[in-house]
Amino acid sequence: MTRALKILKNFEAFLLFETETKRKILPLVFLGVIIPGEIRYLFIFLLITKLLPLNVNAGSLKLLLSLPFSRAELMIFSYIFGFLMVSSATVIGESFFFGKVDPMIFFENFIFYSAYFGILMLVTLKGADSIIFPVFLLIADLIGGGYGDATTNFYKLISPLYHKNLIYSTVLSVALLLISFFVFIYDRKEKW
């Protein structure tokens, strides 16, 4: 019981830190995620760039690690915080614009969010800019899955953006997320 309480207190402290340091941009991105349709993925992508990858790239990871967080907790808390924002904005947007919420939208958001959270973490941990390379990957994802149908274009099946086969794209997304998690935990070459 005390371990769970400690984790909840750490998560609360993480939420306070994130909402205090990013209080200008998070509400704007949240409002963007409310918009239904494919434009939502652009705002989800922008939300991911403002979470832990921004802290790693800006050098504020040292400040976060000085708080009572382990590296694993930082990664998990950031992922959960972002996904909760995406899920709550999706519920608000879908129920406001359509009057109902399709349960598959959460799974599709999970696939996209997990894949690009993993990609952005990998890119920023290796010292690259947290936005330029991932934007090129997003454009390549958009172009690569944009032509043909799922029978002629295999990439459309595993694409985090198109996810025509939910099992394949989920496996790819979770693999990217797990790789980035282990790289974040074990590769400690931060730019202090």
Domain range list for the chain: 2-186
CA distance 99 to 93: 9
pLDDT digits (tens, 9 = 90+) for 89-141: 999 999 999 999 999 999 999 999 999 999 999 998 887 776 788 889 899 99
CA distance 42 to 36: 11
- pTM given for the model: 0.93
Highest mean pLDDT among 14-23, 75-84, 137-146: 75-84
Angle at which helices 71-97 and 25-34 cross, to 10°:
50
pLDDT digits (tens, 9 = 90+) for 30-55: 999 999 988 999 999 999 999 988 88
Name, in order, each residue with C-beta under 8 angstroms of 104's C-beta and a sequence gap of 6 or more.
none
pLDDT value of position 33: 96
pLDDT value of position 126: 84
* Positive or negative: CA dihedral 28, 33, 37, 38: positive
CA distance 32 to 20: 20
* Positive or negative: CA dihedral 103, 75, 163, 146: positive
Residue 8 tokens read as 């909840």
pLDDT digits (tens, 9 = 90+) for 52-67: 888 888 878 888 888 8
